[in-house]
Structure 1
């Protein structure tokens, strides 16, 4: 199995439990279908090459595989990678469809709800004695907000995503047991048609995507998937509560959605005021178009005649009013429909929505007005025996309006603290501003706010651009609604002065209203040192009289964002996770003492090294009182496609998150009395883990050269897959690890199969902890403490995905450096594996997660050939000066293919 350093021997057979036999059959059927496509498109000789490579990988015959693939012509290498990547696409889909199948099986079971489902959660709450009024209060408080971001990781064209959707729908249709053999053959023929069309589509964009291209990618998920499922999700919440309590509990939508596309300025000069306006305008057009379509459909379905059933006066009044406002729309309604008040009203509502889209004065002033119209119809249907005559569809539309408003998704703003300091240096005419003590900067900024001083310096281009953003915030809220723009996030925040800097710039940018600044400012604490200082920084803010007044105007609510990516890159996974845990606990204490309502915003990436992993474990292991009904987290890169790419998968993703937050809020875990002692042990583990990690990554000046030669970082930095540079200063970044963004850092180590940021340092730390405290004490900790269990589970997942035998071949690209560093890396890997297996009492990695273990075994025979191809191509490309040629195109294909195979980029 992958994850064992050294010689691997032959691979284990992939075993399927009885409940997964249908997945096995799907994988075989789809694999054979891909084989047929390859024969048809590329010929039998090419298909035989694919098969020889696959069988060599299964036998772990890496030397034979290397000999087979070495010096392949670039075009043939690229085609071979496409072949393996196509297999991954169908296997990934088969696994997702199997998850949908398993969820449906549980939903059909009256007595055995799926763990983490809404039914399971409601039943557990009822069994724990949570009363119906308490459930109602909990549902009023719950707010789960995934925030979609566009970092340079998502490497799939929208065209191919749409084809994937079609294949997914066809696979879902195959779940119907009543299908005839002819229908099954027709479905497989259509799947083959989509696979073949995808094969003939170039997967690589011809140019780096713009911000608006990235927006379209995110909007694909928001409009095609998320929009469709929010109403059914709310219905499932109500049904679960009713089944557990046998009462009707009033609910409101617990889901909201956010986005960084168009608002994430940190390191991206392409984002600013105009992209914020353009993104929100596009989002509004799309959501209004969806509402208009639903209104037209409701007009068709609600055909009740006034002569046959009662209709409320409020409905008739709306028809009369809108008939005057929209005479053209009224005139277009045939006279035979005039005795159908609901039909007429919904046609007029559709006309008013179109007027809203055109910014016409007769349009809706905001989503609340549309909600009132729908409420009038609902009340009338309730009062006149219409519960089964259209009420269902009206309620679904209302749920969507309540969730999405007229903006679809709230767009956050983000900028680096250093940019604000540079702008203030210009506007205050103080060239030494950036080097002044934070306390001095804070005092000066407070005076600016209290005295309402204006800038003393003329804005340069950067300052003008920054001030324009705050004007755009005001404009966008006026046009798209108060929830259209979310918090303003400060990257690399280090002091209270960084928060005051945003307030000053917001005032100067024209955002102040009625004496206060209507803006939630969220500092983002990213490094271990900043996380440790965060409680001090926030305490200083909460004690500041001016900031207390600002918070009072914001409902005494404060958002704090915590970064998983940079903290891991800074200190390694053990120290980073502990700093995040302790930082959250300390911030909870600080805000509780100050009477502040705190929401954490979790900057989680798609990989364990950047905060990924199982969301339910992360929530269960969170510090006490850190989750109080609200959970906001980023969804990045491939995480979006893997978690929201199909409606059934999106439903499962959201129900697991909502369920975990509901349980953590209503039934908070009582800390084990032993945790006080365990925290001191974890302090030691974090310290030793950090020391081991930094000794390799930062303290050894030659290691950066090993990283650059033993990973495809030079390819990743030139990929056209995001609008933001890979480094904060430039695309080259001068070779320094500190300047490289966390995403390409993790991406590169993943590609080379080291996955080093996800485990390095922890093995040494656990060895030393066992020596100091005893193995038995560590065993008690992992059994009794969800935090350590979640950390070890996540690291085990990384270890199981890594492959040191393949990594050793990448190390050869670094020559003498490879011979120097690989033994050190391998020794730490082996230490970490040994400790994980001992703590979890397992014989092999991932024995406790057979589904993931099976998934890795399914993929590796197809990932390994691509890795060896990538190594060969890297050697050739670098030897010729890294030109943009066919070899580079083939390298891009390997990067995308390996990412698909491992289901991980950054």
Structure 2
């Protein structure tokens, strides 16, 4: 694989204008170096013949993309190799993708840093948003918007991270060595050592098993998510607040901050039990304890670090009367501890106090009740005591610098790190309530009651904020909400926990009925009581994944938009401060895509300064794996939340939505008909299982949650969860959930007669007079632009030739032809509407990334097809043959996921 990175130098007429040929020199150098090191490792371990076979396949798939070699030739070459050799080759390409992804991440970080020169306002930054809003709203209007600003990312454990934790850790070590190697101040000897360490770590990556041998349990998933907090989030959050504070007014760091702590992280990891019997009350308890251990450790370390550096001399900056009295009281209660601090830090009262605070945080973590804090509020009181004393002493930079960062961290994370949310299916509650009323309770019902008791325990230990919400999947009526409150009273009586029961609307019918359900909720005494106590705040969750799986991407997008608009109007009419919780997946087929564009596409009035969204699977590490990337992501989302909440933006969006409403309905209606005609056809679920590695994906041990509801092969899409549905289609290179039906919808809007005929080949169909209106909608309506851009991205990751080979495995040519015809139609009309000559023409960086990966993903797809074809064949296989083929299949699944950079 010494030449594995040389594709970008091998251009053809097809690639002459490709983004691949525009790869920046820095990125090209990193990709080439990492590829060469991987090639050395492969040759050392597997011999030059293995490296030669990898190169043969690499060159063959590149030639096939250039139409210089047939795809059948590539398949025949792959079929000649023994299975064990194919497994080694799959490992090689998978490792290569991990390294390419790493190189691109490093390049992105360099670009972010190079743009931040301070000479101009970065687009989509907090400074840019504040600048616009000051002009539009004035200082008072901006202050009101900032006061209500809220961003709530919720981490979920949906199994969309295909890498083992050991592999992810190996990649992190390679990342650290690459940063060392590229450091601008490194000498020759330092670079040589970093190069040697890179080779060592890549060798270890090659030797590390790519596949998990044991299934993850929920607590493994909790611990995995903690890495994002430990390495990124705890340090990044105060930088966000500082950035906002600097944008709001001059003098940040020398005055009381104008920016509040507006971010609150949530988590479903260890709390989401819908369809996951592995999440129990005990698991939920352990999840909170793990979170608390991490955040208290981080707070203790930060407070100790700041305290040790706060060498403020009493004679120059005397402590306030209140701080002196607090130290005296502390000495009375804990004489030995305070005496030791005074001995180590004489005449440095502020330093003594912060180190005493650090000791109290440590005691809180150890559960030493004599010294521990009872609540985060008590800790904040002590930190503000130090801050106000520093201000009184004239040390304002010390007061509003690192001490303020610590205050922001406590306000954001508390002692619980993330608000753990419980989710369960409405049918489970209905069954439990029947049993409770009848008096004979099953094991499942006892677990529901135990969960509610555990929520009460968590709140008593860490405060209500640690576990404040209970989400009800498939909410159909207000009775589904009332059931949770009644069960809580049965479990604990007057000691029932303080919870907001959140309805989750997922199907098209449920989305349409959502406002009626909320009206019914207002009649519930428990809901009225919560609204009276929380400032009439109500939360509603919208499910993107299941609605898209049911309706198709275009119809689901409009249905969700309509639900948002109706709910926003309902909230205004009922004097309710509504927060919409967007259950978006990482993949485009599950509502994914750039988060800031998604915010700006929301219905007018539905944001109002508040945005809550799930962050799932590989998205967590893509967005929060590095501080620079996390900072940029949060700034972009917050920028969009602020701008989307203004009257001017809401007005423009409302006008565009009204102008193109009938057009959107034509697109959505025709697209849904086309989508349902395929997915609801007799035999479709069985066919899908044959053409994709759906069954085998369960063997990847991606997460603790089962891939489907119930046992056996899925009889309908209702049996299948949205994640494996999207994951499996990505593996086939079809990406059907991200675009299917849109072409039929666009055709209905441009040429209704041709749409109704439905028999002409896509190339024979010419867009009609409606095309100009679609183009205007794309330019003026953010929702429609987001739909088209996301579909374009999904189409760009589709490969028609390879997809056709997968689709042929099902023995239903009618289904295969239907899918490919819709692909051709959708691709043609998406390009016509966007005005692009090729997919992703206007998104140079993304286009380059996709085209760089495509040939190597092709290689893994051919290896996967070989395994899948043999496993689907009628010829009997020995147990050993089946095991080796399944290993090859699963390795290729892992590699394709790394190459496409999205799974489910």
**Equivalent residue runs for 1:186-205 within 5 Å:** 186-205=193-212
Given candidates 320, 336, 339, the residue that maps to 2:347 is 339
Tell me what 1:480 maps to: 462
Tell me, yes or no, if the aligned pair for 1:101 and 1:175 is still in contact at 8 Å.
no
**Cα 1:750/1:623, change in 2 over 3 Å:** same
Alignment pair present for 1:108 and 2:117:
yes
Aligned counterparts of 2:187 and 2:230: Cα–Cα separation in 1: 33
Tell me, yes or no, if the aligned pair for 1:136 and 1:251 is still in contact at 8 Å.
no
Tell me what 1:41 maps to: 45
Tell me, yes or no, if the aligned pair for 1:779 and 1:839 is still in contact at 8 Å.
yes
Equivalent pairs counted in the alignment come to: 864
**Cα 1:12/1:490, change in 2 over 3 Å:** farther
Aligned counterparts of 2:437 and 2:419: Cα–Cα separation in 1: 32
**Equivalent residue runs for 1:780-791 within 5 Å:** 780-791=776-787
Residues 721-743 of structure 1, C-alpha deviations (whole Å, 9 max, x = no match): 1111111123x355432211110
Tell me, yes or no, if the aligned pair for 1:312 and 1:380 is still in contact at 8 Å.
yes
Aligned counterparts of 1:75 and 1:392: Cα–Cα separation in 2: 59
Alignment pair present for 1:702 and 2:683:
yes
**Equivalent residue runs for 1:38-437 within 5 Å:** 38-60=42-64, 61=69, 62-111=71-120, 113-126=121-134, 128-172=135-179, 176-242=183-249, 250-330=258-338, 332-333=340-341, 335-362=343-370, 363-388=372-397, 392-429=401-438
**Cα 1:336/1:119, change in 2 over 3 Å:** closer
Tell me what 2:514 maps to: 534
- 1:632 partner SS: strand
Tell me what 2:839 maps to: 845
Residues 782-817 of structure 1, C-alpha deviations (whole Å, 9 max, x = no match): 222111111011101100101111111112322x31
Aligned counterparts of 1:807 and 1:9: Cα–Cα separation in 2: 24
**Cα 1:599/1:355, change in 2 over 3 Å:** same
Given candidates 859, 862, 881, the residue that maps to 1:865 is 859
Query: How much does 1:404 deviate?
Result: 0.4
Query: How much does 1:152 deviate?
Result: 2.1
**Equivalent residue runs for 1:442-481 within 5 Å:** 457-481=439-463
Residues 537-591 of structure 1, C-alpha deviations (whole Å, 9 max, x = no match): 1122235566434422332111110001000111111111111000110111111
Given candidates 799, 804, 810, the residue that maps to 2:806 is 810
Tell me, yes or no, if the aligned pair for 1:57 and 1:865 is still in contact at 8 Å.
yes
Tell me, yes or no, if the aligned pair for 1:625 and 1:668 is still in contact at 8 Å.
no
Aligned counterparts of 1:486 and 1:224: Cα–Cα separation in 2: 26
- 2:229 partner SS: helix
**Cα 1:115/1:357, change in 2 over 3 Å:** same
Query: How much does 1:131 deviate?
Result: 2.5
Tell me, yes or no, if the aligned pair for 1:10 and 1:58 is still in contact at 8 Å.
no
RMSD value, Cα: 2.4
Give structure 1 stretches of 5+ with no counterpart. 1-7, 430-456
Query: How much does 1:505 deviate?
Result: 1.1
Aligned counterparts of 2:256 and 2:394: Cα–Cα separation in 1: 19
Tell me, yes or no, if the aligned pair for 2:685 and 2:714 is still in contact at 8 Å.
no
Aligned counterparts of 1:861 and 1:19: Cα–Cα separation in 2: 16
Aligned counterparts of 1:655 and 1:258: Cα–Cα separation in 2: 18
**Cα 1:881/1:653, change in 2 over 3 Å:** farther
Aligned counterparts of 2:131 and 2:643: Cα–Cα separation in 1: 11
Query: How much does 1:863 deviate?
Result: 0.5
TM-score, structure 1 as length reference: 0.91
Aligned counterparts of 2:270 and 2:610: Cα–Cα separation in 1: 24
Tell me, yes or no, if the aligned pair for 1:122 and 1:244 is still in contact at 8 Å.
no
Residues 448-487 of structure 1, C-alpha deviations (whole Å, 9 max, x = no match): xxxxxxxxx1322111111111111111011012210132
Residues 152-211 of structure 1, C-alpha deviations (whole Å, 9 max, x = no match): 222222233233333334444566544444433333333333222222222222211111
Tell me, yes or no, if the aligned pair for 1:512 and 1:518 is still in contact at 8 Å.
no
Shifted more, 496-505 versus 160-169: the winner is 160-169
Aligned counterparts of 1:881 and 1:132: Cα–Cα separation in 2: 73
Shifted more, 400-409 versus 62-71: the winner is 62-71
Tell me, yes or no, if the aligned pair for 1:121 and 1:663 is still in contact at 8 Å.
yes
Shifted more, 669-678 versus 13-22: the winner is 13-22
Alignment pair present for 1:31 and 2:35:
yes
Tell me, yes or no, if the aligned pair for 2:749 and 2:770 is still in contact at 8 Å.
yes
Query: How much does 1:320 deviate?
Result: 2.4
Tell me, yes or no, if the aligned pair for 1:557 and 1:597 is still in contact at 8 Å.
yes
Aligned counterparts of 2:828 and 2:434: Cα–Cα separation in 1: 53
Query: How much does 1:23 deviate?
Result: 2.2
- 1:826 partner SS: helix
Residues 322-348 of structure 1, C-alpha deviations (whole Å, 9 max, x = no match): 233334534554735343323322332
Aligned counterparts of 1:237 and 1:38: Cα–Cα separation in 2: 48
- 1:754 partner SS: coil
Tell me, yes or no, if the aligned pair for 2:180 and 2:191 is still in contact at 8 Å.
no
Shifted more, 345-354 versus 576-585: the winner is 345-354
**Cα 1:19/1:203, change in 2 over 3 Å:** closer
Query: How much does 1:120 deviate?
Result: 2.1
Query: How much does 1:744 deviate?
Result: 0.4
Given candidates 813, 817, 829, the residue that maps to 1:823 is 817
Aligned counterparts of 2:98 and 2:138: Cα–Cα separation in 1: 46
Alignment pair present for 1:20 and 2:24:
yes
Shifted more, 344-353 versus 303-312: the winner is 303-312
Query: How much does 1:643 deviate?
Result: 1.2
Tell me what 2:543 maps to: 563
**Cα 1:285/1:165, change in 2 over 3 Å:** same
Query: How much does 1:612 deviate?
Result: 0.2
Tell me, yes or no, if the aligned pair for 1:147 and 1:258 is still in contact at 8 Å.
yes
Aligned counterparts of 2:701 and 2:20: Cα–Cα separation in 1: 39
